[in-house]
């Protein structure tokens, strides 16, 4: 049996994220073309990687239908011009799709089945709203297997507020404002742009265009503005469009490889995968999912939360991040958490977001040689959490 090998994150890119809908950036763009653009950019940015050395392509989509169907990993690889010898497949773990693409391929690399692989995700929520074409089994409700709110993500966030009464709407709004401000600063400092791949756009009204920045951030956000927003999931509730991620379109991708193969090819990996874990929780409070998955990943790595110098937490809802922080005794404004901001500002094209977290962490690692370990984590629909722990290959202690 092959011995386990170290797995490294070589490079990650993404399209700018667009707002979903008839006026959004990608209203006239196919979902698979977003993935194709990302794969081509990964190959372009890493000329030392011969395309025929890519052993597998795994691409995630939550709604696997239409231009997000047809075994995206294979079809996008062909469309991107990879050799026909490169296989591919699709993954669905809702929001953690791209994260699962990375961990699935990493397991194969560690085992020796692959040397180099491409993982990513896409969601065109404008063309394919969450739940399109789905027929939930009536037994879920008839046999009370889940609460009726479990299939409506905003209602699960309201349930989380109930479970954590200390997390008020004011706290959620303050966290959301901070996310917008951090994204604006990260853009101003040039931290985001290096990982964005410009994407051609077109519309009947405007003709051809070029998407070069995220469409969703609202840098003019204020606390007063957030406080005035409606609470669509519950009368006098606490979850609003301002303290939740939006409905978005976009794609992400990354190259993962065995450490010795990256060295052989002259690639420049940014971080090493230390451990990963997924966990299940009650679907009606799916936002707590990152808590048990992180506890398990830390246990597998032999680490404690105090060892983690950077956290990239997907901001599906502010309350979900705050519940994680409260559980681990981390302050709402801890500088280790989402230093470039998060999904409340960037947007959350479901299955693609896991690799955005990784790409941002990798860039943060490069700027923070004092930090050894970082976490990427997210909640997942139907009551799950996913966590990956990474080691910074720029850590000064390695030198």
Give the chain's end-to-end CA distance (angstroms, integer): 33
**Residue numbers annotated as active site:** 95, 348, 379
The full DSSP string for 220-248 is T--HHHHHTS--TTSTT-S--SSSB---E
Tell which residue, 110, 127, 113, 104, has the closest CA to residue 55.
113
Is 198 within 8 Å of 212 (Cβ atoms)? yes
**Would you state the torsion angle of the CA atoms of residues 369, 315, 68, 198, taken in this order, to the nearest 10 degrees?**
-50
Token digits for 78? 């062909």
What's the Rg (C-alpha) of the chain? 20
Token digits for 310? 């950077």
Tell which residue, 135, 134, 160, has the closest CA to residue 147.
160
Token digits for 35? 């993935």
Q: How many residues does the chain have?
A: 399
């Amino acid at each position: 049996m092959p011995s386990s090998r170290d797995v490294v994150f070589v490079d990650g890119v993404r399209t700018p994220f667009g707002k979903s809908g008839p006026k959004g950036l990608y209203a006239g763009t196919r979902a698979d073309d977003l993935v194709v653009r990302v794969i081509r950019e990964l190959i372009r940015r890493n000329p030392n990687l011969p395309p025929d050395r890519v052993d597998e392509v795994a691409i995630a989509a939550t709604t696997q239908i239409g231009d997000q169907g047809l075994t995206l990993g294979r079809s996008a690889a062909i469309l991107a011009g990879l050799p026909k010898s490169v296989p591919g497949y699709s993954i669905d773990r809702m929001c953690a799709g791209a994260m699962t693409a990375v961990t699935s391929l990493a397991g194969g690399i560690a085992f020796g089945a692959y040397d180099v692989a491409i993982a990513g995700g896409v969601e065109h929520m404008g063309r394919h709203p969450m739940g399109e074409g789905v027929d939930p089994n009536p037994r879920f409700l008839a046999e009370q297997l889940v609460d009726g709110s479990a299939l409506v993500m905003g209602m699960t966030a309201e349930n989380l507020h109930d479970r954590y009464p200390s997390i008020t709407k004011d706290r959620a709004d303050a966290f959301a404002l901070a996310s917008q401000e951090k994204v604006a600063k990260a853009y101003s400092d040039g931290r985001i742009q290096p990982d964005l791949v410009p994407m051609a756009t077109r519309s009947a009204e405007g003709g051809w265009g070029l998407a070069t920045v995220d469409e969703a951030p609202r840098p003019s956000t204020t606390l007063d503005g957030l406080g005035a927003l409606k609470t669509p999931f519950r009368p006098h509730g606490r979850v609003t469009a301002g303290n939740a991620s939006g409905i978005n379109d976009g794609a992400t991708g990354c190259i993962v490889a065995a450490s010795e193969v990256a060295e052989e090819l002259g690639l420049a990996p940014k971080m090493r995968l230390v451990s990963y874990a997924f966990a299940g929780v009650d679907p009606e409070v799916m936002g707590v999912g990152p808590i048990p998955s992180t506890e398990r990943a830390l246990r597998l790595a032999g680490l404690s939360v105090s060892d983690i110098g950077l956290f990239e937490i997907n901001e599906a809802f502010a309350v979900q991040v705050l519940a994680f922080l409260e559980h681990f005794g981390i302050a709402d404004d801890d500088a280790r958490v989402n230093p470039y901001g998060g999904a409340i500002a960037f947007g959350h094209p479901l299955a693609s977001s896991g690799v955005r977290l990784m790409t941002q962490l990798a860039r943060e690692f490069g700027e923070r040689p004092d930090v050894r370990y970082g976490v990427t984590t997210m909640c997942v629909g139907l009551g799950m959490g996913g966590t990956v722990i990474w080691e910074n290959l720029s850590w000064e202690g390695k030198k």
